[in-house]
Amino acid sequence: EESIVVREGMAEILANEKKVFYNPVQEFNRDLSVAVLSIFTEERKAYQKIEPSKKVAQRCSEGITILEALSATGLRSIRYAKEVPFVHQITANDISAAAVESIKKNVLHNGVGDLVTTSHEDATMVMYRHRSDRFDAVDVDPYGSPSVFLDGAVQCISEGGLLLITATDMAVLAGNSPETCHVKYGAISLKSKACHEMALRILLQHISSHAGRYGRYIQPLISISVDFYIRVFVRVYTGQIVCKGVASKLGMIYQCVGCESITTQPLSMTKSDNKYGLPAGPPVDKLCHYCGHKHHIGGPIWLGPLHDRQFVSQLLSKVDTGEFGTKKRLQGVLNVIYEELDVPLYYLLDRLMSIVKCEVPPMVTFSSALINAGYKVSISHAHKTSVKTDAPNSVIWDIVRAW
Ligand code: SAM
């Protein structure tokens, strides 16, 4: 029955780990969410000045509304109430009676009862009831897969609103069980060295397909893979024409079983790209161009941008000037993300070299070779020895073989 007192950000909560879920490792996730929401609310506030006649702007005049659909101890909601400026109302919901009791206690303890409303319901029901009376931000932070909550989430989010979605079922998303991944996320995952980014792209594809059913589409602001989970922050808008264009932002992945070369193939192409009426990429049965082996096929995955660079730069300034328990780590990860090339997936340098049985050169040497050949290169925040480049596979193999 012993509760421990936990201080995180500006919140102080009583956590009883046996009864209600509390994970100190997720402080990074909560810090990042506070920073993202702070910029989002500033943007909403500015929008009100630019477009005072728009419905969303009018409704947001007193601040934004947030649903924390799976709240556990209420820690996140309390932090949002105390640390995010321009918040009007937060609903902290959980299906477990013990959790709701703990949320109530913690809300009272932190004196945020005027901002945080406690709710004891299945998250999906809360979302469906708010299909017209929508939230400006919806945080979905479940155990495992967020899949079952997405249909409700894309409907109860206001125009241009923000979805904050966590997935912790990394084994499924990262290729250990491709069929289960297809059942849960509508995409085949692959065992790949780039599995962490693949997981992000499978989740984004999944959210996008849910949104599409209601004539809505997503814009990712930042997508991260850390520790044992992934977390994406996307804005949701309405528009049939943009929705039709989404097929060109989705694609299949072909990974050679021999040399592990990765090729992506968009599900559709814009008219100007598609002169011959066929999408690009290798046909299913074509053998690998570089080593003659077969391909594994995965997807569909999201091929569009993972991050909005301008947003990431705003986020960096926010973190630089703010107080966060995980500030150093946030700065580190965000700086890498800011430099990340907008190219799907990556290779691992040590893996590339071991395929051709050569010694691994220093990362900078390898990057310079790509840059000298006229291409761009960066790493991915998802792996420290990753090589992200716009160079075609043929150029990469030329450089690797010439070593
Ligand atoms: N967001 C919390 C944090 O940052 O500390 C952690 C949430 S915890 C991972 C997941 C919570 O979801 C649990 O408290 C569980 O009771 C709740 N839950 C599970 N299924 C639910 C459902 N269908 N509706 C609402 N809550 C649910």
pLDDT tens for 27-50 read 999 999 999 999 999 998 887 777
Calculate the average pLDDT of the chain. Answer: 93
CA 123 – ligand 1 centroid, Å: 9
CA distance 93 to 150: 16
Q: Is 52 exposed, middle or buried (0-12, 13-18, 19+ CB in 10 A)?
A: exposed
Q: Residue 138 above 80 pLDDT?
A: yes
- For ligand 1, residues with CB inside 6 Å are 21-22, 26, 30, 70-73, 75-76, 93-96, 99, 122-123, 141-143
Entry pTM: 0.95
Which pLDDT tens digit goes with each residue over 226-279? 999 999 999 999 999 999 999 999 999 999 999 999 999 998 876 555 555 455
Ligand 1 centroid distance, CA of 70 (Å):
4
* pLDDT value for 284: 56
Q: Interior CA angle at 182 toward 236 and 202, to 5°?
A: 40
172 vs 21, higher pLDDT = 172
Q: What's the gap in Å between 94 CA and the centre of ligand 1?
A: 6
Tell me whether residue 5 is exposed, middle or buried, using C-beta atoms within 10 angstroms of its C-beta: 0 to 12, 13 to 18, 19 or more: exposed
CATH 3.30.56.70 in the chain: give the residue spans: 346-403
Q: What is the Å distance from ligand 1's center to 69 Cα?
A: 7
Amino acid at 158: S
Q: Is the pLDDT of residue 17 over 80?
A: no
| Ligand 1 atom showing the smallest separation from residue 149 Cα | 23
**Which residue would you say has higher pLDDT here, 270 or 160?**
160
**For residue 56, is pLDDT > 80?**
no
Q: Work out which ligand 1 atom sits closest to the CA atom of 168.
A: 9
Tell how far the Cα of 77 is from the centroid of ligand 1, in angstroms: 13
Interface predicted TM-score (ipTM) over 0.85 = yes
CATH assignment, 346-403:
3.30.56.70
Render pLDDT for 296-317 as a digit per residue (tens, 0 to 9).
999 999 999 999 999 999 999 9
In which element (H, E) is residue 377 found? strand 377-380
Range 4-244: architecture per CATH? 3-Layer(aba) Sandwich (3.40)
CA angle 295, 301, 304 (to 5 degrees): 125
pLDDT at 50: 79
In the chain, ranges of CATH 3.40.50.150 domains: 4-244
